[in-house]
Amino acid sequence: MKVLIIGSGGREHALAWKIAQSSMVESIFCTPGNGGISEIADCVDLNVSDIDALLRFAKKERIELAIVGPENSLASGIVDVFGREGIPIFGPSMKGAQIEASKVFSKELLTEYGIPTAPFRSFRQYNDALAHIQAITPPYVIKADGLCAGKGAYVIRDQNEGAQVIQDLMVHKIYGDAGARIIIEDFLPGIEASYLAFTDGTDILPMVPSQDHKPLLDNDKGPNTGGMGAYTPIPFISKSMEEEINARIMTGTIKAMGDKGITYKGVLYGGLMLKDCSPYVIEFNARLGDPETQPLLFKMESDIVPILLACIEGKLSDIKEIKWKPGVSICVVIASKGYPENPEKGKAIKGLEYLKRQKDVAVFHAGTKKIGDTFYTSGGRVLGVTATGETYRDAIKNVYDAVSCIEFEGMYFRKDIGSKALKITEE
């Protein structure tokens, strides 16, 4: 089987690494890929937004399975285009991708079908939004309606800050048309969790719950990023809560989409808030998370390819379960100096060869390029160092030991990934 992975980040490297282990796979292409992916797949320099070029390539190479990483490609309808040409492709249709591409669509769907989420209001006019925040008391949350690469949500704790954010989004248009419409919702205190499930539009097959770390700095300080690390499993979700999430939130949302005439296939990723022992939806994503994919796939024992095909073919009920390796899996993201606003690039990376020989460690590349035998930084999030261990303490030690082997000028990483779970399990 010939496989095409669309994307260039750590998520796509983890997918290539996992798919390469399948006995069903003959060759892997990745567009555009990165330095690390180039060691296990043929990287082709095509823009993920150029759907016509991607389709021509897939036809030329007779691709038998395509997997879409980036949300923008899904929102642009790549699954619909490939599907019409008979090329099996993993991910939701353009209509399905609205669950991520439009916060307003998602919140209205959740509210209509009684799926737990924070109360909200949506606004198209700047003056109306400003008047609304003047009538409420912080904290509250402001979100751009459209896609902002994970950076369009703001927890507001000061009224002046709220007014500035609304102005930035709706007047200054810092995210373009994505901020032309906004939502303002109640702030939900609690513990955040990432809950991902495969689906064929009828059934779901949940993955192990995980936890992302969005803020740049330790102790969840600083600006939001695409994610500075993640780990799985998490100790915050009981078996009964997981059953509630599966039934009420994940399956409930798939059924709600079906009622709207949308057969949602691919991955449904629920960003959840666990408040007073109850789960609430903060937002949905229409694809695998980054960096959650890295520790999840490193922990996954099952062959992923039959699962992807079953989702596309509407046969997910044939897959009874996903087998997981025991223990804990943790990913620590190493970023460039200046990330997320203005990351430095072109710095030589040292220490990667040594880590290739480590059994319970994988380094997934995000922003790298390879020139000769040397890897260089080429983006904000550079590497996702991932390791396993029998316990949280073991996994934390293993992953940070691995991080200590890597060196490049200006590198930065959080030093507290996994500490929340460690504190709970050792109290």
Same domain, 313 and 387: no
| E strand or H helix that includes residue 364 | strand 361-365
Same domain, 391 and 282: no
Same domain, 301 and 354: no
Paired tokens of 14: 């983890």
Q: Could you tell me if residue 115 is inside a domain? A: no
The three-class DSSP label of residue 414 is coil
The residue range of the domain holding 145 is 125-180
In angstroms, how far is the first alpha carbon of the chain from the final one? 49
Tell me, what DSSP letter sits at residue 278? E
Confidence of residue 249 (pLDDT cuts 50, 70, 90): very high
The pLDDT of 313-329, averaged and rounded, is: 97
Q: Could you tell me if residue 46 is inside a domain? A: yes
The pLDDT of 345-360, averaged and rounded, is: 94
**By the 8 A CB rule, do 232 and 292 touch?**
yes
The pLDDT of 324-337, averaged and rounded, is: 98
Q: Is the pLDDT of residue 337 over 80?
A: yes
- At 150 the pLDDT is 76
What are the φ and ψ backbone dihedral angles of 10, each rounded to 5 degrees?
A: -65, -35
Domain's final residue, options 296, 318, 340: 318
How many Cβ atoms from other residues are within 10 Å of residue 79's Cβ? 27
pLDDT tens digits, one per residue of 97-124: 999 999 999 999 999 999 999 999 999 9
How many Cβ atoms from other residues are within 10 Å of residue 112's Cβ? 11
Residue 69 buriedness (CB in 10 A; 0-12 / 13-18 / 19+): buried
Q: Could you tell me if residue 201 is inside a domain? A: yes
**Site of tokens 């095909």:** 309
**Site of tokens 């099996």:** 88
Q: Which residues pair with 67 in a beta bridge?
A: 5, 90
The pLDDT of 61-69, averaged and rounded, is: 98
Same domain, 26 and 143: no
Same domain, 313 and 338: no
Q: Looking at residue 353, which CATH number applies to its domain?
A: 3.90.600.10
Same domain, 248 and 151: no
Q: Looking at residue 163, which CATH number applies to its domain?
A: 3.30.1490.20
Confidence of residue 151 (pLDDT cuts 50, 70, 90): confident
Q: How many domains does the chain have?
A: 4
**By the 8 A CB rule, do 74 and 92 touch?**
yes
Same domain, 312 and 340: no
| E strand or H helix that includes residue 182 | strand 182-186
Mean of the per-residue pLDDT values for the chain? 96
Euclidean distance between CA atoms 334 and 329, whole angstroms? 16
Measure the CA dihedral 294/295/300/306, to 10°: -30
Q: Could you tell me if residue 98 is inside a domain? A: no
Q: Is the pLDDT of residue 278 over 80?
A: yes
How many Cβ atoms from other residues are within 10 Å of residue 20's Cβ? 13
Same domain, 222 and 147: no
- At 310 the pLDDT is 98
Q: Could you tell me if residue 120 is inside a domain? A: no
Same domain, 159 and 198: no
Q: Could you tell me if residue 32 is inside a domain? A: yes
Same domain, 282 and 347: no
How many Cβ atoms from other residues are within 10 Å of residue 36's Cβ? 27
Q: Looking at residue 53, which CATH number applies to its domain?
A: 3.40.50.20
**What pTM was estimated for this model as a whole?**
0.96
Q: Looking at residue 279, which CATH number applies to its domain?
A: 3.30.470.20
3-state helix, strand, coil in the chain (%, to 5): 35, 30, 40
The three-class DSSP label of residue 350 is strand
Q: Could you tell me if residue 6 is inside a domain? A: yes
pLDDT tens digits, one per residue of 157-194: 999 999 999 999 999 999 999 999 999 999 999 999 99
How many Cβ atoms from other residues are within 10 Å of residue 40's Cβ? 16
Domain's final residue, options 294, 318, 342: 318
The Cβ-side half-sphere exposure at 334, using a 13 Å CA radius, reads 27
- Greatest CA separation for the chain: 61
**By the 8 A CB rule, do 233 and 209 touch?**
yes
Euclidean distance between CA atoms 409 and 15, whole angstroms? 28
Euclidean distance between CA atoms 155 and 186, whole angstroms? 10
**By the 8 A CB rule, do 288 and 73 touch?**
no
- At 427 the pLDDT is 65
Euclidean distance between CA atoms 84 and 290, whole angstroms? 28
Same domain, 338 and 379: yes
The sign one gets for the Cα dihedral 59, 60, 63, 69 is: negative
Same domain, 21 and 131: no
**By the 8 A CB rule, do 201 and 265 touch?**
yes
- At 1 the pLDDT is 96
How does strand 191-199 pair with strand 89-90? unpaired
CA-based nearest residue to 102, from 124, 80, 82: 124
Query: In this structure, which amino acid lies at residue 341?
Result: E
Please report which residue ranges of 85-233 form alpha helices under DSSP H: 98-101, 103-112, 126-134, 159-166
Integer angstrom CA distances of residue 286 from 101, 265, 270, 319, 393: 8, 9, 9, 21, 32
b or e along 140-149 (b: 16 or more beta carbons within 10 Å of the residue's beta carbon)?
bbbbbbbbbe
Q: Could you tell me if residue 185 is inside a domain? A: no
